Structure 1
């Protein structure tokens, strides 16, 4: 099941790349969709929601 998170600190494609790479370190097979305009991250992964959230916050971004 996909996890959709609001990440208000996303401002550019660089942010999207950083978040995607961080999530891929948790789970290499994860499907990650970052919508810069909507400031959302949608992740389809087997990893726990908490580990995905930790990967995002570890990059310095906030989850709103």
Structure 2
């Protein structure tokens, strides 16, 4: 499944790393591309959208609706 999520409080490369790590914890094979300028995270994953959003939220970031 391919997801594109907007993470409004992703501000820097450290944020990108934290979000990427949070997603790979729940899906080690996920491919994650995050851009702190556009605030978009593109994810190829086998996990559900809800699981990915929860992982990002638990890492301290807000996923836009």
**RMSD across aligned C-alpha pairs, in angstroms?**
0.6
Matched, 1:10 2:10: yes
TM-score by length of 1: 0.96
**Tell me, which stretches of 5 or more residues in structure 2 are unaligned?**
none
Q: Could you list the structure 1 runs, at least 4 aligned residues long, displaced by more than 3 angstroms after superposition.
A: none
Q: 1:8-60, CA deviations, whole angstroms, 9 ceiling, x for partnerless residues?
A: 10000000000000000000000000011100111100111110000000011
Q: Is 1:61 matched with 2:61?
A: yes
Give the distance between the partners of 2:6 and 2:46, measured in 1 at CA. Answer: 19
TM-score normalised by L of structure 2: 0.95
